[in-house]
Amino acid sequence: MTEVTRKWFTVAEVAEMLGYGVSKTKMLVATGQLRSLKDGHHRRVLLVWVDEYVARRAEDALV
CB atoms within 10 A of CB 56: 12
Interior CA angle at 51 toward 5 and 60, to 5°? 175
Per-residue pLDDT band for 62 (boundaries 50, 70, 90) equals: confident
Q: What is the structure's pLDDT at 1?
A: 82
Q: What is the structure's pLDDT at 56?
A: 96
The residues facing 39 across adjacent strands are: 42
Rounded to two decimals, the pTM is 0.88
Per-residue pLDDT band for 63 (boundaries 50, 70, 90) equals: confident
* Measured distance between the N- and C-terminal CA atoms of the chain, rounded to whole angstroms: 47
Q: List the chain domain ranges.
A: 8-62
- Over residues 2-59, the pLDDT tens digits come to 899 999 999 999 999 999 999 999 999 999 999 999 999 999 999 999 999 999 999 9
